[in-house]
Amino acid sequence: MVPEYRNDHLCADAIAHHARLNGDRIALVCEAERLSWKELNCRINQLANALIAHGCTKGSRVCMLLPNGIPSFLIFWATVRAGSVIVPLNMMLDDASLARLASASGGTVFFADTNSAKQVDRIRNSLSHVSAGSYFIFGDEREGWERAETFLTLADDSDPDVDVTPQDSMTIFYSSGTTGTPKGVEHSHFSRLNYCYGFGPGLGINRYSVAVCCTPIYASGTLITMLPTIYYGGKIVLLPKFSPESFCEVVKQERGTHSFMVPAMYVSLLQYEDQSADLSSLKALVSAGQTMPMITRDQLAERVPAAGIYEVYGMTEGFFTIAVPEDFALGKRNTVGKPGFLEDIRVIDDDGIELARGETGEIVAYGPGMMKGYAARPDLTAETIWLSPQGRTFLRSGDLGHLDEDGFLYVSGRKKDMIKSGGINIYAADLEEILAEHPAVGELAVVGVPHARWTETPIGVVVLRPGHSASGEEIRDWTNQRLAKFQRLSHVLVRDDFPRATYGKIKKDKLREEYHDLEA
């Protein structure tokens, strides 16, 4: 008799494995609460069994609108353990967007806390898939909501034993929406598993690693360090809300080794007044979401010399490149690295013809971590596909870039960010790299706005570093002295902050709208 093969090597299976192997070791920390692997596994099983008893089956969608914390972590993994699909929703969504995305996801159960439940109540009429009795709240009692803590205790902590296959859906994450309406990106268990196989070895994660998760669980970037740390048996530390002070405190207390942040967060860390904070335990600092300016990377390397700086480029839809410290040391200063685990990166022109090394065009990619598609939107899925001459389906990124002679990728920015001025293509990333070197500039973005003579013209938008002062004209003139004539900025505008998407990414489309008539 041939034994039946079970797919017990997937992400959620790692938690049960470490509960058996390292039951008393601490697996999860959030503020004062600490859970061992055994305690974590029991609570996940209990909630998974409660979900199953409530009617959740394989493929059911479970929505949550929660900040980083023990509740959101438990719901995420209990849903996955039950064989259902977790839909973590962005806490920064307005009412209309939240209603549209939650409804489109088809979620039948909704978890919130005392604060987010108020917003959910305002959109209940739009959530036709969620029945009365399927709204669960952590925190204060609220009319129309069931107590999540009570729900958790309604079942035992035995293994639910749901047979999940690698191709079953695991998550639906909504893209950040920096260039349009967010889309529900549906990933399988197999594609999420590749975070463990790709980022785990690439970042040197093992059983002694301590991942400090500063970004929310609804952002795919969080999974870069979270998933492999769980898989290899390290420790997860959740920050409910990021600040330089809280980050430094928890790194010192828990001896954090790995963390993912976006450039804006690293800038705030570099500007933090207490530069004596002990960050010596850090081994890997990962940046993604937007390209980190070289000057920021250099300052970060000086501030945390024991930590390697890793630049990750990719999309929620599921491919990535990674630049490791050795790449930068070899002189590959502006690169976002090479393709990740079994990834294939190519560059094509507007007609879909593959370009030679060194030529700039749209980045397309294939990899084992790619999405199943956009949830319930086969039309949008089809629009993202580029078919190679060999018949392989690649994902169109919408980004411009080129590969050098050694296969390293360089990103010039979104296709929509390319500025066509006087018939010449200007890449915002090239201008941003110089603008970032001005000593008064903290954060920045370059966008194109309409121009009567040149069709478009580049402008810079900046937020100043604390304690610094400079006028827009001064920064513009300083920058233009270092740019080619055709690249020069028409204006530099100083503001207090940027319109932002998920975990602080700058929304350039909003800047283009705001300054559309600047040259009129």
Lowest pLDDT segment from 190-199, 328-337, 418-427, 489-498 = 418-427
The mean pLDDT of 450-477, rounded to a whole number, is 92
Gap between the Cα atoms of 362 and 360, Å rounded? 7
pLDDT of 3 reads: 60
Long-range contacts from 483-489, C-beta under 8 angstroms, 24+ separation: 483/431, 483/434, 486/421, 486/422, 486/424, 486/426, 487/426, 487/430, 487/431, 487/458, 488/458, 489/431, 489/435, 489/446, 489/458, 489/459, 489/460
The residue extents of the domains of the chain are 11-188, 344-417, 421-514
The more confident residue out of 176 and 243 is: 243
Q: Is pTM beyond 0.85 here?
A: yes
Gap between the Cα atoms of 16 and 494, Å rounded? 52
Of the candidates 355, 369, 282, 354, which has an alpha carbon nearest to the alpha carbon of residue 321? 369
CATH code that applies to domain 344-417? 2.30.38.10
pLDDT of 176 reads: 59
pLDDT digits (tens, 9 = 90+) for 287-313: 998 788 888 999 999 999 999 999 999
Q: Do domains 344-417 and 421-514 have the same CATH topology?
A: no
By CB neighbour count within 10 A (0-12 exposed, 13-18 middle, 19+ buried), where does 55 fall?
Answer: exposed
Architecture label for domain 421-514: 2-Layer Sandwich (3.30)
Please check the confidence at residue 177 and state whether its pLDDT lies above 60: no
Gap between the Cα atoms of 149 and 309, Å rounded? 40
Please check the confidence at residue 415 and state whether its pLDDT lies above 90: no
Q: What are residue 222's phi and psi, to 5 degrees?
A: -60, -35
Please check the confidence at residue 424 and state whether its pLDDT lies above 80: yes
Gap between the Cα atoms of 15 and 17, Å rounded? 5
pLDDT digits (tens, 9 = 90+) for 60-115: 999 999 999 999 999 999 999 999 999 999 998 889 989 999 999 999 999 999 99
pLDDT of 509 reads: 87
Q: Is the CATH code 3.40.50.1000 the one for domain 11-188?
A: no
108 contacts 62 by C-beta, under 8 angstroms: yes
The more confident residue out of 138 and 507 is: 138
283 contacts 258 by C-beta, under 8 angstroms: yes
pLDDT of 291 reads: 81
Mean pLDDT for all residues in the chain: 93
Please check the confidence at residue 1 and state whether its pLDDT lies above 60: no
Of the candidates 26, 19, 25, 63, which has an alpha carbon nearest to the alpha carbon of residue 42? 19
Please check the confidence at residue 520 and state whether its pLDDT lies above 60: no
What residues have CB less than 8 Å from 181, skipping those under 6 apart?
Answer: none
